[in-house]
Amino acid sequence: MRDVAVLGVGMHAWGKFPDKSVTELCRDAVSAALADAGVAWRDVEAVAAASSRFSGGKGWGLNGNDVVEDMGSTGIPVYNMSAGCAAGGNAFNVGYALVAGGMHDMVVVVGGEKMPKGFIQTSGVEEETDPEFLRQRCVGMPGPAFWALLCRQRMAEFGTTEEQLAKIAVKAHEVGTHNEYARFRQLFTVEDVLGSALVSDPLRLYEICPVSDGAAAAVICSAEKARQLTTHPVWVAGSAVATARFDDGLPRGLAGTVPTGRAHHSEAALAVGKALDQAGVAPEDLDLVELQDNTVYYELAFPEDWGMCKPGEAEHLLEAGETLPTGRMPINPSGGFLCFGEATTAMGVFQVCELTWQLRGAAGPRQVPDAQVGLAQTLGLGGNGTALVLKR
């Protein structure tokens, strides 16, 4: 396997853009990534695209084909990946494999999404064999209710308070206000968060990410190409994909546990473990993490699941400011999903952009000092999990 570098990254701002198509959002992101890499579209040998049924590609999840037609039909292969909210990370893994395996020297990874209003529906049909359809229809548990159940479990187990949950949202906006690509950049107080509408007890409106439109892209290439084009590449140290195990405990304890003994999203834990192993680093070696914070709960649970801190310790680290960019365990210095909103298939690529900027030392006021190693993680419908490690 060859070494792979992230040569360039680019994003379109997150928000709601009724007058723009998803292809236009992707065009801006790809063009920015090419300019950042110092290469032209004709230099690209393949595209790995995150796609979905919401907006990508002729109604068939062919987002990558739309991007190629828009940027220039040069005959290159397109790999359209669908993995729910993990599609961006999944597309990156495919692009990484294409370069590391020697099939291509330069690949564009892109994800773009225009989200419909309201709760994310799992399918457009009433399918009685689909557990996700049954969960929403029969159990009456869309995402916020599920996350609220996990919060209540943690409150009972570790004494987590509503004020501590609110402080995670406050922290996210404290750093997200410095991110020009974030949709929500206003500052909140704990009182503001606790005063926002109650969605599913104990979770409030400002503690749950909304849905957004957005796009992000990355140019990745072989080490040989990277050394020809830059003196300061960012290296892909590990990239992994996993799916949920049969004994996944969701919520924890109801259906057994995975080998870690605590992970309640086994797809995430397995992908993170594999990526760290490939990179040859331990959880304590990470300088920053971009994790999937659909809700504030995950900033507490995931670091413990992955061995970044001890069970029940996450609240203490939050209170001590250790999850800020200047702390010893920086989490989501971008502002995370809470500040961006979720443009499902683009999120894994947005994380690649943030890690790259951080490792270059180009993140401005939200910069993690002397960042050397960063982890990104997503999970998506169908028990899909991805993780990647980038190094300077």
What CA–CA distance (Å, rounded) separates 67 from 57? 9
Range of the domain at 92: 4-117+213-235
C-alpha distances (whole Å) from 220 to each of 75, 346, 349, 361 are 19, 16, 12, 19
Same domain, 222 and 273: no
Other C-beta atoms within 10 Å of 161: how many?
12
Residues 74 and 151 in one domain: no
Q: Which of 339, 337, 317 is nearest to 328 (CA)?
A: 317
Same domain? 217 vs 100: yes
CA 319 to chain CA mean position, Å: 24
Residue 123 domain-assigned (yes or no) = no
pLDDT band at 51 (very low <50, low <70, confident <90, very high): confident
pLDDT tens for residues 200-234?
999 999 999 999 999 999 999 999 999 999 988 99
Residue 89: predicted pLDDT: 97
pLDDT band at residue 340 under the 50/70/90 scheme: very high
Tell whether 104 and 145 lie within a shared domain. Answer: no
Query: Residue 124 falls within a domain, yes or no?
Result: no
**Residues 185 and 299 placed together within one structural domain of the fold:** yes
Residues 241 and 372 placed together within one structural domain of the fold: yes
Instruction: Please report whether residue 105 resides in a domain.
Output: yes
For a pLDDT cut of 90, what percent of the chain falls above it?
Answer: 78
**Same domain flag for 291 and 156:** yes
pLDDT at 134: 67
Number of other CB atoms surrounding residue 158 within 10 Å: 16
Question: Going edge to edge, which strands form the sheet with 373-380?
Answer: 78-81, 46-50, 106-113, 213-222, 4-15, 234-243, 384-391, 373-380, 288-290
Structural domain includes residue 128: no
**Based on the structure, what is the number of domains in the chain?**
2
If you count DSSP H runs as helices and E runs as strands, how many of each does the chain have, helices first? 13, 11
Query: Does 253 score more than 60 pLDDT?
Result: no
Q: Is the domain of 84 the same as that of 228? A: yes
pLDDT at residue 249, as a whole number: 55
Q: How confident is the model at residue 123 (pLDDT cuts 50, 70, 90)?
A: low
Lowest-confidence pick of 13-22, 52-61, 152-161? 52-61
Where do the DSSP E strands lie in 121-269? Answer: 198-200, 203-204, 213-222, 234-243
How does the average pLDDT of the chain come out, rounded?
90
**Is 70 inside any structural domain?**
yes
**181 and 251 together in one domain:** yes
The Cβ of residue 35 has, within 10 Å, a number of other Cβ atoms equal to 13
Main-chain phi, psi angles of 220, to 5 degrees:
-120, 150
Supply the CATH number for residue 315's domain. Answer: 3.40.47.10
Q: Are residues 333 and 348 in the same domain?
A: yes
Taking the C-alpha atoms of residue 283 and residue 375, their distance in angstroms, rounded to an integer, is 9
Name the pTM for this structure.
Answer: 0.92
